[in-house]
Amino acid sequence: MSTTVIKRDELPESFLGTNPHNLYLYCKAYASGLRANTAKTKTRSEVRGGGKKPWAQKGGGRARAGSLRSPVFVGGGVAFGPKNNRNYKQKVNKKQKKLALYYALEQLVKNEKLFVVDNVTIESGKTKDAKTFVDSLGQRDVLIVKELIDDKTFLAFRNLQNAYLVESNELNAYLAAAYHSVVIEKAVWDKLTKES
């Protein structure tokens, strides 16, 4: 597999001078979308117990109380806690998504961390062979973008800690920014630069 490092002068005009704020907005929205949204507290009606009036309404010298499960007592419900019905999604326009990806790729090119290969295929399906390929690049961790992932290549890369394999339609600015370097198949790169 012959590997080519993309230089800055090979980039289309649209990749250059993109505002980094687009990448920030996209990454923020992406991370928000990953939130589990499972935070939930019980109100006084959901907490177990508290059926009996704890003390008489009058004559005790204390404030009136109808239930020990009121939010003012320890062990009581929570007054305005989370109810796992929040929507954390943030909208990012199509154009912003594209600009965010362009900026992330431009930064990789600037640091000489974007590699284009003819084809990434591990015929043997062995992790050992995939590791040899990744090690030959001499990078800390690698995002590998393939047009279509075949079963053997998927099996070869799935156990590697410093490599992540995605199809071309899964490539986004967050992934491009998260990895130290990116390896893209030539067909995918040509399509990306043609669309710009």
CA 42 to chain CA centroid, nearest Å: 30
Q: Is residue 57 part of a domain?
A: no
Q: Is residue 164 part of a domain?
A: yes
Q: Are 118 and 186 in contact (CB under 8 A)?
A: yes
Which CATH number is 106's domain given? 3.40.1370.10
> Exposed/middle/buried for 125, CB within 10 Å: 0-12, 13-18, 19+?
middle
Q: Is residue 41 part of a domain?
A: no
Q: Is residue 66 part of a domain?
A: no
Which residues of the chain register pLDDT less than 70? 1-2, 9, 195-196
Q: Is residue 170 part of a domain?
A: yes
Please give the pLDDT value at position 16. Answer: 85
Please give the pLDDT value at position 179. Answer: 94
Q: Which domain holds residue 172?
A: 3-16+93-195
Q: Look at the chain and report how many structural domains it folds into.
A: 1
Residue bearing tokens 């071309």: 168
Q: Decide the pairing of beta strands 3-5 and 181-185.
A: unpaired
Q: Is residue 133 part of a domain?
A: yes
